Structure 1
Amino acid sequence: MVPPPEAPVADGVSRGVRLGYGVGSFCTATFTTVPGLLLLFYLTNILAVPAWLAGLIVFAPKAWDLFANPLVGQWSDRTVSRWGPRRPWMLAGALILPVSFALTFAGPPLKGVPAALFVGVFFLLAATGYALYEVPYKAMPAEMTEDYHERTSLLQWRMIFIALAVALSGIIAPEIAAHSLDGYRVMGIVCGAVLLAAMLASFLGTARAPFTGSAEPEAGLRAQLAAARDSRPFLWLLGLSCAQTLAAGVMLAAAPYFAAYIAEDTSATSTLFAALVGPMLVTMPLWVWIARRMDKRGAMLLSGVLFMGGALLTVLTPLLGMVYAHAMIVIVGVGYAGLQLLQFSMLADVIAHDSAVSGKRRGGVFTGLWTAAENVVTALGALVVGAGLAMGGFVSSDPENPVTQPGGAVTAVLLVQTVVPALITFAGVLMTLKYRLTAAHLASATPRTT
């Protein structure tokens, strides 16, 4: 007989549940990758929205997450249902996100400011649906197993699905969009269908997920936010993750411009993305091994250095050519694979540590704050790129009225793709040195006395 979702389960996580949980990452990767890669370019080069306003439109709906995500986290922490505390909210997100995502790229017969407002409204709805799904989704691994290293193994499956989804999103979505209005419309519908399938599959696939949590939910959002604020491991992990995510967001938003104005080949967007995500498909077992040998913090430091070094060396592309650029992006991709795996494994450790020392269930608020910060800094990447392009004198256009960009704009494209993310990643590496939650610390955690 299968135990109810709320019952503690001693067994490990079955392969079926790992697959069911992992497939939900198609939602995570698609919603992060496609807008991060194409939305800014869609606004500036298809709908003729000024670069500074386009960056603001991409960023502003995600700022809403700072308010919405902690609320969703609190609601999921306090939910009691036959489906468990997390899955009802995942289903709610599946009813909102796919449709609003498709409408974001619906290509209205508008240009400039009116087009920006249209896109902004539906992107805000999409961000809300994503919060309803992603916040409880990220909280689940800490409640599936109590084993420090099994969490990394569990999340390895998630990272494999993320790599596949990022590959499909970053390689196929630009090909479907094809820098045309009709292409973006079709791309939005296709990605919306992928989102719906992934979200429903993970909702159904986690029906038999073990639930090891026995802590009671913390009463009151203010108390939960205070708990997150007082958790030093969480704050340092959030800081280093924000730095790494911002660096990736900047590179993501800059990629189509790098392909168009540095490589002078718009199809290079897809090949550069293949170089970035290819390592994620083959290096996950290696990063699991490195994390066991060097502990997670040491592995995180190594992955950050690889990401930073590859990004910085890409600045030599105008001198050494696109083959060299692809080789450097492969190095970035190896580091990015480690960053993606390790930060979520470490987040599960932080949630488990807090539950052990507090006796409270508040992982939803931790993941709510985490997801809000993740979404905001990813969108902030587009804002940074938009501001950089505006400072360089970038001229927005539409397919019927192409323009030649000034030299300052081309230089800005090169810098925001290379030097800027490298500097941001360096800040993340410094913050990683302050992270102290190891396997030994987690094993020795004891409840606080009051």
Structure 2
Amino acid sequence: MADTFLPSRGLRTGFGAGALGATLSSGVVPLLFLFYLTEFAHVPPALAGLLLAIPKFTDVVLDPWLGRWSDRWARRTGSRAALLAANALLLPSMLVLLFIPAGGLPLPLRVSVIGVLLVAQSLIFTVFSVAHTAIASDITDTIAGRSTLMSARALGQTFAGLTVSMLAPQLVGAFGSGAGGYLAMACTLAAASALALGLCWLAVRRTPLAVGVETKAAAPLLTALRSTLRNRAFYCVVLILVLLGTSSTALFAALPYANQHLLKAAPEHLSTLLTPIFVALLVGVAAAPALTRRMRPNVVLAAALSTALAGIVWFAAGPRENTSMIAAGVLFGLSCGMLTVLISTLAMEAATHSSSQGESLGLYLGILFSAEKLGQSLGGIVVGFGLEWVGPLQGTPAPEAVRRLGLLFVSAPAAALLAALLVLLPFTACTGAHSIKEHNA
């Protein structure tokens, strides 16, 4: 059985290191890869947006199957640790391969190669995420213990995001600002990722499989998926996760363009805008557990979503200068930090409750991570097609193109957050946040 006590500090640190390493190997893609594709790989903007979206739509189809497959692998080996060990090698390698210059290849071949690599990276990341998140229920069987591990996971992700936002633009600039600079940046982050993933494996390698695999003859995948639809709390949280991912990905994908054409700043200046966002994310992650102990989680969800929307509106209403945009980013980051902990914990609780009745925990987590990636893909699609609407930005862009870029920069993330608030209102009675809290009271 899983341990009923809180995980030790060393175990929490190792578990958080896994999230740190995985995010170091994947966080550059939503942050800089669209800009890299259009500016250095010479892929047309709309095609680049679709290219980034294809792996996510592949995930929507394959992630539930991969999650269920990871359960079967764990049942055969007696632990989820072997999957974590494999990913300690695969994820950093995929990051390096994505940034190998391919500009000399014909466009169809170039797009095909990049597309295959993006799909492979995304599927490998799913296998890691399912095994890493599910092993939390093997470590501890209490809500407090799982919440502690989910907080460590969120802290690892946030530290990685902060590291990427601070160092990635600086590394690109230090290594030459061209395609070679991006490759050197990828190699540096990949080395750090491999180290963190290795530390995670060392911490959890002796954790035996305890819960989460199907206890009866496995039903066909479609039948098992239909059974999950009874868990309305889980799907309420999932829908909010999709919309939050759409908003944040759209903001980060558009930010390099806003930095260059709205602020007239060099690529290194991105660190000035991104670092406060991720520092605020850390504060939000730290504050979330205390807030949820004092307030109903659905109230915290509504407040955090409203605060994030206020940050986006500030981007629109405030002047195009560092102080104002940093303040808006801090407001957005603070709310996203709270949402990161709250959504992951509530989704995990809803999924674990169903898995205790014989359903596959990996299946639920596969659905969760496919939803997360769907939100990211929708954000990339919106920005990719939005850039086509904006018009050419190379050289000295036309004033109308700059005006449209400013509108896209704000409206895309704001619309997704507003939709999340509208989704939350009619489902308050059955939202996972409220239902799970009552169930476990």
TM-score of the superposition, structure 1-length normalised? 0.89
Q: Displacement of 1:331 after TM fit?
A: 0.4
| Within-5 A mapping of 1:184-195 | 184-195=182-193
Q: Displacement of 1:384 after TM fit?
A: 1.0
| Within-5 A mapping of 1:332-411 | 332-356=332-356, 359-395=357-393, 403-411=395-403
Q: Secondary structure at the match of 1:269?
A: helix
The separation in 1 between residues aligned to 2:410 and 2:348, in whole angstroms, is 31
Counterpart AA for 1:441: E
Q: Which runs of 5+ in 1 are unaligned?
A: 1-6, 396-401, 445-450
The structure 2 residue matched to 1:158, chosen from 150, 153, 157, is 153
Q: Displacement of 1:379 after TM fit?
A: 2.6
CA deviations over 1:424-448 (Å, ceiling 9, x no partner): 112112323421444553237xxxx
Deviates more, 1:230-239 or 1:141-150: 141-150
Indicate whether 1:47 and 2:41 are aligned: yes
Q: Displacement of 1:98 after TM fit?
A: 1.8
Structure 2 residue aligned with 1:90: 84
Counterpart AA for 1:144: I
Structure 2 residue aligned with 1:447: none
Structure 2 residue aligned with 1:104: 98
CA deviations over 1:60-112 (Å, ceiling 9, x no partner): 12222123321221112223458644222223333322212211101124265
Q: Displacement of 1:323 after TM fit?
A: 1.0
Indicate whether 1:180 and 2:178 are aligned: yes
Deviates more, 1:404-413 or 1:46-55: 404-413
Indicate whether 1:125 and 2:109 are aligned: no
Structure 2 residue aligned with 1:310: 311
The separation in 1 between residues aligned to 2:251 and 2:231, in whole angstroms, is 30
CA contact (8 A) 1:30 1:169 kept: yes
Counterpart AA for 1:431: V
The separation in 2 between residues aligned to 1:136 and 1:194, in whole angstroms, is 21
CA contact (8 A) 2:92 2:191 kept: yes
Q: How large is the RMSD of aligned CA atoms in angstroms? A: 2.3
Counterpart AA for 2:408: V
Q: Judging changes above 3 Å, is the alpha-carbon distance between structure 1 residues 163 and 212 closer, same or farther for their aligned structure 2 residues?
A: same
CA contact (8 A) 1:172 1:270 kept: yes
TM-score of the superposition, structure 2-length normalised? 0.90
Q: Secondary structure at the match of 2:157?
A: helix
Q: Judging changes above 3 Å, is the alpha-carbon distance between structure 1 residues 404 and 116 closer, same or farther for their aligned structure 2 residues?
A: farther
Q: Displacement of 1:217 after TM fit?
A: 4.1
* Percent of residue pairs bearing the same amino acid type: 25
CA contact (8 A) 1:66 1:372 kept: yes
Indicate whether 1:234 and 2:226 are aligned: no
Q: Displacement of 1:134 after TM fit?
A: 1.4
The separation in 1 between residues aligned to 2:77 and 2:169, in whole angstroms, is 37
Q: Judging changes above 3 Å, is the alpha-carbon distance between structure 1 residues 93 and 152 closer, same or farther for their aligned structure 2 residues?
A: same
Counterpart AA for 2:46: W
Q: Secondary structure at the match of 1:300?
A: helix
Counterpart AA for 2:376: T
CA contact (8 A) 2:51 2:115 kept: yes
CA deviations over 1:159-211 (Å, ceiling 9, x no partner): 22222110111121122123411101101212222332222222221134476
Structure 2 residue aligned with 1:423: 415
Structure 2 residue aligned with 1:59: 53
The separation in 2 between residues aligned to 1:126 and 1:231, in whole angstroms, is 30
